[in-house]
């Protein structure tokens, strides 16, 4: 039994999307953010660090975005979304999987934290950070010029990791995505996936709140 504790507008939408891609059964519990976009107090009791995502598998709590997605991708269903050591694109798969959170999201969340803490927008630290962000985005854009999905021809869990920085994250850390046409075209391919659309309907930033989402 898998339960996703979905914090509104957070990384846990990745877990919902992955389960939809795998057509796997799960339950979902929704948690709101406060007016200042913090996680609601009841969410913070799920895990000692209060971070998102948090899931439970047969009662065991698992947190940390990369760990949750890697765990689900390798243990649920056919495991088809996790490339294995023998695959010709295995190294690329691992690279982009880890890059998405450790490098790209790191830079984007740094901009969010600086903004919230009142570091002047023109402070050297923020200028450096935005320059590095633009460098990373251009690097991804260049890669996507010749790759249909982030690790090659096939959709993988690395796509689930890399999409979030380009979508929901921009509500917190805005940047001009139109400057990166290959990322824009990639997002169109992502949005054409029925499982992505289902995931957004259930757990995206504009999710439908008029119906019971548990399934």
159 binding a copy of itself? (CB under 8 A): no
Number of residues that bind a copy of itself (CB under 8 A): 43
34 binding a copy of itself? (CB under 8 A): no
The least CB distance from residue 1 to a copy of itself, in Å, is 14
Candidate residues 99, 166, 180, 196; the one interacting with a copy of itself per rule CB under 8 A: 99
The continuous run of DSSP H or E covering 29 comes out as: strand 27-31
51 binding a copy of itself? (CB under 8 A): yes
The least CB distance from residue 75 to a copy of itself, in Å, is 5
Instruction: Report DSSP letters for 41-56, one per residue.
Output: HHHHTSSTT--S-EEE
Taking the C-alpha atoms of residue 198 and residue 215, their distance in angstroms, rounded to an integer, is 12
Taking the C-alpha atoms of residue 19 and residue 123, their distance in angstroms, rounded to an integer, is 41
Listed ranges 12-20, 54-62, 164-172, 200-208: which one lies at the site for a copy of itself (CB under 8 A): 54-62
147 binding a copy of itself? (CB under 8 A): no
109 binding a copy of itself? (CB under 8 A): yes
Angle between helices 181-191 and 124-144 (to 10 degrees): 60
Give the phi and the psi of residue 116 in degrees, each rounded to 5.
-65, -35
Taking the C-alpha atoms of residue 184 and residue 122, their distance in angstroms, rounded to an integer, is 28
Contacting residues toward a copy of itself, per CB under 8 A: 48-49, 51, 57, 60, 62-67, 70-71, 74-75, 85, 90-91, 94-95, 97-99, 101-103, 105-106, 109-110, 113-114, 117-119, 123-125, 128-129, 135-136, 139
């Amino acid at each position: 039994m898998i339960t996703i504790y979905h914090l509104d507008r957070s990384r846990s939408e990745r877990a919902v999307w992955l389960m939809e891609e795998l057509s796997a059964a799960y339950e979902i519990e929704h948690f709101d953010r406060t007016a200042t976009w913090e996680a609601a107090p009841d969410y913070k009791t799920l895990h000692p660090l209060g971070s998102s995502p948090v899931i439970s598998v047969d009662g065991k709590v698992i947190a940390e975005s990369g760990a949750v997605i890697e765990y689900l991708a390798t243990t649920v269903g056919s495991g088809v979304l996790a490339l294995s050591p023998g695959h010709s694109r295995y190294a690329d798969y691992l690279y982009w999987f880890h890059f998405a959170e450790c490098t790209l999201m790191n830079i984007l969340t740094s901009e969010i934290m600086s903004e919230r803490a009142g570091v002047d927008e023109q402070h050297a630290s923020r200028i450096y950070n935005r320059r590095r962000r633009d460098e990373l985005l251009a690097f991804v854009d260049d890669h996507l010029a010749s790759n249909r999905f982030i690790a090659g021809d096939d959709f993988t869990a690395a796509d689930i990791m890399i999409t979030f920085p380009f979508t929901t994250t921009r509500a917190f850390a805005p940047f001009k995505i139109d400057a990166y046409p290959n990322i824009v075209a990639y997002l169109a391919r992502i949005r054409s996936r029925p499982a992505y659309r289902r995931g957004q309907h259930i757990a995206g930033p504009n999710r439908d709140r008029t119906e019971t989402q548990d399934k």
